[in-house]
Structures are given as C-alpha cells and as structure tokens.
Chains A and B, each alone.
Chain A
Amino acid sequence: MPQPFRLNVNGAEHTVTAEGDTPLLYVLRNDLGLNAPKFGCGLGQCGACTALLNGAAIRTCLFPVSGVGNASVVTLEGLGTIEKPHALQRAFIAEQAAQCGYCINGMIMTAKAFLDHNPHPTAAAIRQALAENLCRCGTHVRIVRAVQRAANGT
C-alpha cells in the first residue's frame, strides 16, 4: 500500500506518497521534480543515479524510499545552481568536463562524498574513487581533472 514519507531533500522537508519499496530515484525525479539523478541501469552498475544520504554516495535506483528515514538527502541541485555553482560544478564547467553529460551527476556526487573525506587526493585516488562510475563518452580525463581542480580550490 502506498504510504506517506517525510523526506529531507536538499535542506527542505517534503511529504511524498509511494510504495515503500519505490526506488528513491523515481521519488526524486517524479515527485520532487529533480532532474539530476538519472536512470542509467537500475541495477547499481553505472552510478548515474547517485545522490548523497547523510553525506554518503548512494545509488538511488536501488535504494528504497522507506530506507531514508530521518537521513538528509542531497542531490546535485542541492550543491549549487547555475548562478551560484558549487566548487565542483564550477570546476566541471571550467574543465568543460562533459560530452553528453548524462553520467556527470554521478561523477560530481561521488566526487563530493569522496572529497569530503579526502580533501587533497592524488589523480590516482580520484580514479579509484570513480572506478565504479561509468562514462560512455570518454570524458574521463576531464572528469579527473575537474575533481582535482575543485580539490585544489582553483
């Protein structure tokens, strides 16, 4: 049976009504109108759907809405906006680190969770952190450079 869930997303409280096993991805996209988390595989294999749950990167395509509880959810929209981009978003623009860009939500959100614990990583550590995120366009070198740029605060 569908039931109401109170969610804290990007700092605001929302109430949504859905089956408890609904993947968080569809709630974020369709109930809250957020664009950034993307459906890529629904299998936990690509990372396109990544958001933060209490600061940790999760794959929202597999994470049930009932599992959120009181935790805070942050999506790419919660980091910054076109007018006031977050350092990572600024760095991705500066490095022109996108081709189609479909994977980029996952790249930035995974990098955000990673940088929060590793503020000064090497390029090798960044590649390691992103190893489970897939990009088909071959934007990898720019993505690594963008994360480094954000970490360096340049």
Chain B
Amino acid sequence: MCGSFVRCSALRTGPDVNPHSGTLPSPRDYSRREFCQAAVGVVVFFSMNPGPFLGHVAPGQLPLDLETNKRLDSWLRINPDGTVEVFTGKVEYGQGAITALAQIAADELDVNFERIRMRPADTSHSPDESYTAGSASIEVGGGALRYAAADARATLLEMAAAKMRAPTGSLTVDDGVITTSAAAGRVTYWELASKGLLARDVRSGIPLKPNSSRHIVGTSVPRLDIPAKVTGGEAYVQDMRLPGMLFGRVVRPPSYGAQLTAFDDVSAKAMPGVVTVVRNGRFLGVVARREEQAIAARAALQRAAVWTMPTELPDEASIAAFFRNSADAQVTTVSSRSPSVTAPMAVRTLRATYSKPYLAHASIGPSCAIAAVEDGVLTIWSHTQGAYPLRTDIAVVMGLPLGKVRIVHAQGSGCYGHNGADDVALDAALLSRAAGGAPVKVQWMRDDEFAWEPFGGAMSIDVQASVAADGSITDWQYDVWSNSFNMRPGQRGGVNLLAAWHLAQPFQHSPPREIPLPSGGADRNAVPYYDFPSQRITEHFLPTMPVRVSAHRSLGAFGNVFAVESFMDELAHSAGADPVEFRLRHLTDDRAKAVIRSVADRAKWRSGAKGDGARGRGIAFLRYESTKTYVAVIADIVVDRESNAIRVERITAAADSGLIITPDGISNQLEGAIIQGASWALKERVRFDRQRVTSRDWNSYPILTFSELPEIDIVLLNRPDLPPLGAGEAALPPVPAAIANAFFHATGRRLRDLPFDRDRVKAALA
C-alpha cells in the first residue's frame, strides 16, 4: 500500500523486529486495524548499553516537572470504572504529544492503551509544566509522567500484596489485573481504586520498569485526536459553543505605532446584532450576537477609525545593515576555543555572509479563544502553548488575583511557536468583560494574524574559516546578529500580550533576554557540532525589536544551520573534498557520523558526481541544540533556468532521536518539518514597508503548495536504550542549506540569502 511519496521499505535490521516497520511485538491489536504501519521509510535499530533516562533520576531526586508538582493525583487518577485519567501540563497542537504521553503512562502502569483518558491542561488542577515547546514534551513531561505512573503502580501493588497476603515480588500485572504466583486469586486496579488513593506527594526512590518490558512505547499507536478531526468532531476551541455565547472581533491599528486620531462608533453600534463596541486606548473591538455581524461591524469600525501611521520600520532590503549599526547590541562570545600548539598551519581563509528574513508562523486557522466569567472566575479556553504563563499575564492586565483566572487548553490550528494564541485570549477576556462576563468567542481575521503575530526574527551572519593545506578547518569565526526568539507571556518585568500594549494605561513588554546555551535563542545551533581546533562564536543580541518577534519553530537554528552548513559546503568545495567525507572528517561523535552515513547510503550519494547545470544535490547536518536529535538531509533539486524556479524533487533524511516512542509519529513530525523547511527556504519572507507589515494574506505571504511538493524519504535510527529526544523541530534547520548546496552543485553559484525565490535565483545565475 505504499504510496509514491514517502517511499516505503520493509527493510529493518536489529533485534526484536518484525517486517512491519513501526511494530515491535505488541500485546494487542489497536482498535484501528487499518492504520498504516508502513509510513516510515526505514527504521534501523541500534542497541547500546542502557542508560538512565525518561524519568530515571539520581537517588533522592525527582524528575524536573515532578519537583515542582509533587501531588500524585495532579498527574493521574485510577478510576473504579476501569479508566485511568492522565493530567498533563503539556498540550497537543498536532505534534502527537498527547498520544505519546498516553503510551508512556499505559506502559508504566501495565494497562491497555485504550484505558487512558488524557485530560487537557487546565490551570485549576493540571501540573504546571510551563510551555509546551522546544520539542521537550516527551523528554521532560514524559519523564515526569512515567515516574508518577510508576509510583501509582507501586502503590497499587503494595495494596494488593497486603490484601492477598503475598510478597510484592510475587505479583504480576496485566492490564490492571494483579495476580500472584504465591496463591490463587486476583485483584484489579479498579477494585483497589478509591477516592483519595493518590492524594499525596510522589515518593522518591521509585523503581521504573525495565526498558525491555515496554510494550506500547516504541509502537505506532494511532493518534488519539485524529478520528474527531477527520469527521467534524468537536476538536478545536473554534468548535466550542457555550450557552449564550456571543462573537467578538478586534479592530487592530493599521501598524505597530499607529495612533487613533478620530473614532466614531455611532453607526457601528446601531448595526444589527451589535451588543457593544469597546474602545480602550487604541484597543478596539466589537461584540455581536452573530459571527457575521461581528465581522461586518469590525469592517465598519475599520472605516470609522482614523489613524496616523509613523514611519518607524527599517528598510526591509537593508535589515542586515540596520542590525549591524544597532547602538545597543549586547555582544557575547558564546563559545571559544584556542588552537593547540599542534594545530596545522592555515594556508587559506574564506568568508561569507548569510541572511534569513522575518518568517511568519502563518497558522492555517487564525487564533481563537473563548472567555467567560463563571462564578467570579474569568475562564479562558485557549490554544496557548503555556496555560500557566498565560494566566500570569492575563491576571496582571485584568487586575485579578491568579486564583480568579483559569486557563483551559483547547486545541487550535498548528502554531509552530508563539503565534496569536495568547494575544487572542486577552482579546476575548477584554471583550467578555465589556459584555458583562458573557461567553465571547473571538477569532482573529486572516490579516490580524499576519500583521500582528510575533514573527521569527531576521538574522544576519558572518562566517570566516581558515583551512590547512589538506583542506581541514583550523579556525572558525562566526558572528550572528538577531533579536530575541522568546517574547512569550509570563516573563519578569512586563506583559507580553498584544492588547495590553494598546490600552489607555498600556503595559510594556518584558525586557528581551537571551535563552542560555545549549538551548539558545538567536544563537541556537550557532556553535557548530564539528570539532575545530580553534573557534570563536559571537552573538550580537539586539534588544531593539522594530518588528514584533518571538518563538518560531527551531528559533535561531534555522538561520544558523543554514549558514554553518552552507559554509561547510563552500569549504569542502575549496578543499576539493566530497561534502559527505568533509563533514565526517570534522566529526568525532559516532551518532552524528551514523546519520550522515545513513542518509548518504539511502540517497545513493556518489562522491565526485557532477551537477549538470540543472540538477544537483546537496547535504546538510545538525545536532539540534547540540544535545538533541541528529538529522542529516540530502536535497535533490532541479533549477529551471527559464522561470528561475528551484524545484525540490526529493528530500532524503536520516534522524536519530534516541528511543522512538511512536515511529509513525516521529515520521509525521519529520515530514512536516521538512516540508515547512522547504517552504521557508524557497518562498517565505514577511514583507513590510517603512510604516507597516504588508504581508496580510496568502497572496502576499505564499507558502509551498501541493504542486511544489518534494518526495520525502526518511530513515529513522532507533536507539531503544538511549533517551528519547524531541524531534518536532530538528529537521527544519538543515533543509535550506541542503537546497542551497544542491543549487551550487547544479550551477556553481551560491545562494546565501533566504528565501531562494525567483529574484534571488535570477540574481545568482546572472
């Protein structure tokens, strides 16, 4: 049944596998029999020495998120009806996190997967796990949940042992049924379950099940959220309807700094269905009985508002110069290494400059929230990535104590970082308050989302390297200029919600702070994973943000890996070396070498193969955040010299993200990241003039379409005995360098500025 796109292969190697990719021997048949097990190209198993991970901690310690949320019943509850409720502070936004967490809980508890009921994050009772971001849901959230499940299981076994008068060591569990080898009889979790059973703090020193006894982790369980999403179920906050619910829309200024000089709302107030019009400073909004009435009133208010727009934005074409001339740059050497005395002599020095534009999250569904006052508590249903941090900022703006604000997670459209989700939650709160606390659903219009979401920051990068006579790199100097990639709500020293800045009594955003390495923000993956005898990596962190920016999938890694991997290709070429061999030569980590070799094998990379002026192939590699998933990709492209378009024909990728919880889930995430990466690389760039953002719809911000779709072929390197590493972002950053390197291979010309649109291709070929 393999389709033509992701090429399938039943090839597998290593222990404990059957010829269906994605299935370890599994105790049961998941309800969706037709679930495609062949979506993953190839899974290669490695077995290494087991290491402690996913909930394993030093004696006397607890996993990170449990330290701060110790109550066991805030994580899970065992119910007499035979179900297990799991509460997590992590949220689903299409990445499959909730299903993977359910797998972890079921496995550790020894219950069937179908018994797990995942409950959405809710600040009234869920553990506070801050943001769901950075591909850390499984590493951190999964580790805490696994440990909590182990404690719950141990508790149940202790009770069963007492009841059955049998030693705990004689007990075994199968789907919640406890039996003992010492006597006849059995008892189930569901019989032992009682209210308050887990109403205590988690204990330290709880042993976890051995990795070898996992049955569900490692298998491709169908995602829990998909059936509702393909049948019109209530799957999103957009689909929620509360009794008496009204519809709100906001009327944003036409530009960041626009000031309202005249506003006549008389006619809008008289429009059919309009309940109220809100003006507070330059925050404007309307509440109506019907959605189309709110939209019509918004249009009327847009016509009735008179604004002055300052000339406040830098010239889009010279953003790099604007950054480099910035007076308040915070310059930090984030990594430096001095040459050893034995380092070879440099014979040649190369330099290049790269750039990345502002990029939009551009969610398909504009951001949406519902707010209502229930029993004096402001309750907001939101697709935020961080319910608790959002609650903090909402409480400040609304002048409420934390206990009077409740944020409940409900899914939205995919966000890929910090989009308008949090902002629209405050919009809904303000409009609900204006409507006397009635439930108000607010969804942004398309142009609200494009013009006002926080973008992924533009970047400018200089890199210089010296090479020895044999082509090996002796010294690497790297400078990156960019803004913050983390202006999310809930930070010290300000409020990071859009409407708060527009109120008559405005709030200020928090001071931008860089995220420390190894995670990093603008400098994420600025430090190459290669071993150079000498290097210096310098970050120029720019606190002034002329264009609104925040977290965008992979943060600075996208620009940095583009520069690092493009330049590695330039250096390989100047050394007359094969790009694959050249990378291997500068790496010592075997896992890094393994992904590069795997992708080269899979794509049948031939050293010395020549591009023909139109066709070319290029490779790029990263280890995400220097500590997480390894990815290597090879892009095969065709350059159309008539239209100056690059067509990406195929992207082959190999990834090692440690233990794979859900092979098909990882594959889905990697495919998505690769396609999004190709879209960013080939087409995307937020446009603005000196006054305002001009990308306001899908025509002015085009993304990759089905007609431009590459084939994708993925090899997963499974490491069942190594910690699972987040993979949702890791495949994006290597894509543009692989394409640019393929372009060089085809044409002998370099593309050093993203995106590679027709103008850039034309200029490169001129």
Distance to closest chain A CB from B290 (angstroms): 7
B279 within 8 A of A: no
Q: Which residues of A contact B421 (CB under 8 A)?
A: none
Which residue of the partner chain, among A40, A76, A103, A127, contacts B231 with CB atoms under 8 Å?
A: A76
Chain B contact residues: helix, strand, loop or mixed:
loop
Q: Which residues of A contact B446 (CB under 8 A)?
A: 40-43, 45
Q: Which of B1-38 contact A (CB under 8 A)?
A: 1, 3-6, 32, 34-36
0/1 interface trace, chain A 116-154, chain B, CB 8 Å (1 if under): 000000010011101111111111111011001100101
Q: Which of B590-629 contact A (CB under 8 A)?
A: none
Distance to closest chain A CB from B163 (angstroms): 39
* C-alpha gap A138/B94 in the complex (Å): 11
B88 within 8 A of A: no
Distance to closest chain A CB from B683 (angstroms): 12
Interface contact A138-B227, CB-CB below 8 Å: no
B313 within 8 A of A: no
Interface contact B3-A148, CB-CB below 8 Å: yes
Q: Which residues of B contact A132 (CB under 8 A)?
A: 705
Nearest CB in chain A to that of B293: its residue: A19
Q: Which of B212-240 contact A (CB under 8 A)?
A: 222-223, 225-236, 238-239
Contact A131 B673, CB 8 Å, known A18-B290, A30-B291, A82-B228 = no
B413 within 8 A of A: yes
* C-alpha gap A126/B1 in the complex (Å): 16
Which residue of the partner chain, among A38, A89, A134, contacts B238 with CB atoms under 8 Å?
A: A38
Contact A35 B3, CB 8 Å, known A136-B703, A138-B675, A142-B668 = no
Which residue of the partner chain, among B247, B414, B679, contacts A100 with CB atoms under 8 Å?
A: B414
Interface contact B5-A137, CB-CB below 8 Å: no
Interface contact A77-B232, CB-CB below 8 Å: yes
Nearest CB in chain B to that of A154: its residue: B1
Interface contact A142-B39, CB-CB below 8 Å: yes
Interface contact B230-A136, CB-CB below 8 Å: no
Which residue of the partner chain, among B364, B669, B676, contacts A134 with CB atoms under 8 Å?
A: B364
Interface contact A22-B414, CB-CB below 8 Å: no
Contact A82 B699, CB 8 Å, known A39-B238, A75-B232 = no
Interface contact B6-A100, CB-CB below 8 Å: no
A94 within 8 A of B: yes
A115 within 8 A of B: no
Distance to closest chain B CB from A7 (angstroms): 16
Nearest CB in chain B to that of A48: its residue: B364
Q: Which residues of A contact B234 (CB under 8 A)?
A: 35
Distance to closest chain A CB from B286 (angstroms): 15
Q: Which residues of B contact A134 (CB under 8 A)?
A: 364, 698, 703, 705
Q: Which of B648-702 contact A (CB under 8 A)?
A: 664, 668-669, 671-676, 679, 697-699
* C-alpha gap A89/B712 in the complex (Å): 23
Q: Which of B222-264 contact A (CB under 8 A)?
A: 222-223, 225-236, 238-239, 241, 247
Distance to closest chain B CB from A107 (angstroms): 9
Distance to closest chain A CB from B40 (angstroms): 11
Interface contact B675-A144, CB-CB below 8 Å: no
Interface contact A46-B698, CB-CB below 8 Å: yes
Interface contact B366-A39, CB-CB below 8 Å: yes
Among A33, A39, A80, which residue has the most Cβ atoms of chain B within 10 A?
Answer: A39
A96 within 8 A of B: yes
* C-alpha gap A133/B707 in the complex (Å): 10
Interface contact A94-B35, CB-CB below 8 Å: yes
Distance to closest chain B CB from A108 (angstroms): 7
Nearest CB in chain A to that of B240: its residue: A35
Which residue of the partner chain, among B32, B94, B364, B679, contacts A40 with CB atoms under 8 Å?
A: B364
Interface contact B94-A98, CB-CB below 8 Å: yes
Interface contact A101-B235, CB-CB below 8 Å: yes
Knowing that A138-B679, A142-B39, A145-B39 are A-B contacts, what are 7 other residue pairs whose CB atoms are under 8 Å apart, sorted by A's residue number? A19-B292, A23-B292, A90-B34, A96-B35, A99-B669, A145-B5, A149-B3
Chain B residues with CB under 8 Å of chain A are: 1, 3-6, 32, 34-36, 39, 93-96, 222-223, 225-236, 238-239, 241, 247, 272, 290-292, 295, 362-366, 411-414, 416, 443, 445-446, 664, 668-669, 671-676, 679, 697-699, 703-707, 709, 711-712
**14 A-B Cβ contacts within 8 A?**
A35-B235, A42-B446, A76-B230, A85-B231, A93-B226, A96-B223, A96-B226, A100-B364, A102-B412, A102-B414, A123-B5, A144-B5, A145-B36, A148-B3
Chain A residues with CB under 8 Å of chain B are: 2, 18-19, 22-23, 26, 29-30, 33-36, 38-43, 45-46, 48, 75-77, 80-82, 85, 89-90, 92-96, 98-105, 108, 123, 126-128, 130-142, 144-145, 148-149, 152, 154
A-B pairs with lowest CB-CB distance, top 6: A100-B94, A138-B675, A36-B232, A100-B414, A101-B229, A145-B3
